[in-house]
Structure 1
């Protein structure tokens, strides 16, 4: 195994709990930053991870809601929901040492920029995470679908020794991880995918299999994809022309029961990431004078639920 590293998982929900749990299982010094009943359960009973990819395992793992108690770390997995980004960044400063690296598993396209602004570009690697994982109940992470993949790369392109080191550490932990020479494109491709998946499954309150069983919702799904591609190109990202159709095809090949994270949060009455997903698409559409009617419809329907407490 590579040398043991010290890891802080900022946001130990479904995604952070899965990736951080894998590193802890491998023997790394991982601290989970959580809150509420989930934190209480981890502190009293440990963390249970049930995974179709890694198997089921239990961890006696350190958990806290006080980042100042941890000290500096080697790696931060930044996995808070997008609406918690600014508060988390404000609380993270004492985690950062001279060689601390940060990878973000967040949805959206702004995370790396915000982290770089706060801590310096030398601390931030680009990353995408694709996994269907959730808090099944406090202290229990359930990973039921998705490839469980990580793509990591330098934000200015290319590869590096530090990228390879993180990839080696994650790979040894059983994670599906690879380097990406154009991580900005990879981040946008995930954004395209997640805006359609989360937007449409939240809008309909249905899994993707049921969305694709109807022509009208399939057509709208494709239109959402095409609109995100259009604003991405306007932002200067070299997105291949076939991305909307290829993303639709690959999503149809996934497990039909998948619901995006925004759909899960909506159904549970939790806050949702509409502002930094479909709302962000519409903001960029207005900036570039590009019509985004399908994303606008999703935002209009879901904005009333942005802060949770579904009635």
Structure 2
């Protein structure tokens, strides 16, 4: 199947990043942002900017009838996922390929409960150092999307279709035949990086150099490695070093979304990270003291809003 029409829901950092790239390389009517009426008016009046340039996006409300998308990309925050799943229904057809760029390891299953797991490819967004303040996004490194099938060791026609599309529009990607491990690896990175930068009120540079913050980050990541053994994923120090090498490519002046959320006094995605770690910790009776401390600290900050 040739991918011609793309729909995106979520105009956060990744939504703007992906949408800006696509909109410059595809007909405007073929890249659609799904937004409710109030958001649509706000976006059209205030505009959205990417590295200083205004983005010329096409916005459609969930109620508008339209042709199904060939590719549907979720870039919402986790707390908005259930609402987004309902909002995209007019964009989903029997052949629509669905990708979730959300953090964590659960969004694919949640979307699949409504639209079927057969329509979903696993994906991991990595290597981005995008920072969004208000309606303005800035980044130095675009990163890439890793895509693959749910079952390891195979490359389906859906994966080949998305890869061919990304080749056509010069979108950075990688096909991985073990996406469960990739998802867990990114989860491990987020557990370390997002929470540590938020708690230390710092930037990527603070955890790229030796010191207390970096030690905390790595300790939190190692707790995920331990849990992965109980979950049958079996991350290792090799995986840890790979993701630390990804971290090293990011702009020292950048910061992850969790730090941006706390600065803006918004509730963070802590349930996806330390929250998930603590649930597995209790399930397997494995202590995870570093993540417990990070969780308690961030929840304490959020309680002051």
**C-alpha displacement of 1:271:** 2.2
CA contact (8 A) 2:206 2:214 kept: no
User: Which residue in the other structure is 1:8 paired with?
Assistant: 7
Matched residue SS, 2:121: strand
**C-alpha displacement of 1:304:** 3.8
User: Which residue in the other structure is 2:280 paired with?
Assistant: 284
User: Which residue in the other structure is 2:296 paired with?
Assistant: 300
**C-alpha displacement of 1:155:** 0.8
TM-score, normalisation: structure 1: 0.87
> Which runs of no fewer than 5 residues in structure 2 stay unpaired?
none
CA contact (8 A) 2:265 2:302 kept: no
CA contact (8 A) 1:107 1:191 kept: yes
> Which runs of no fewer than 5 residues in structure 1 stay unpaired?
51-55
Matched residue SS, 1:132: coil
1:149 has 2:149 as partner: no
Distance 1:249 1:19, change over 3 A: closer
User: Which residue in the other structure is 2:22 paired with?
Assistant: 23
Distance 1:295 1:260, change over 3 A: same
CA contact (8 A) 2:104 2:272 kept: yes
**C-alpha displacement of 1:44:** 3.5
User: Which residue in the other structure is 2:43 paired with?
Assistant: 42
**C-alpha displacement of 1:245:** 4.0
- Name the CA distance, whole Å, in 1 between partners of 2:175 and 2:21: 19
CA distances 1:21-42 after superposition (whole Å, capped 9, x unpaired): 2112111511113469864353
CA distances 1:123-144 after superposition (whole Å, capped 9, x unpaired): 1000011222243332x33223
CA contact (8 A) 2:189 2:243 kept: yes
**C-alpha displacement of 1:99:** 0.4
What RMSD in Å do the two structures reach over aligned CA positions? 2.4
**C-alpha displacement of 1:211:** 3.7
User: Which residue in the other structure is 1:136 paired with?
Assistant: 133
Matched residue SS, 2:72: strand
Please list, as runs of the form range in 1=range in 2, the aligned pairs for 1:149-298 lying within 5 A after superposition: 149-157=144-152, 158-213=154-209, 215-298=211-294
Distance 1:13 1:34, change over 3 A: farther
Count of matched residue pairs: 300
CA contact (8 A) 2:185 2:240 kept: no
- Name the CA distance, whole Å, in 2 between partners of 1:70 and 1:177: 31
Please list, as runs of the form range in 1=range in 2, the aligned pairs for 1:51-70 lying within 5 A after superposition: 57-64=53-60, 66-70=61-65
**C-alpha displacement of 1:213:** 4.5
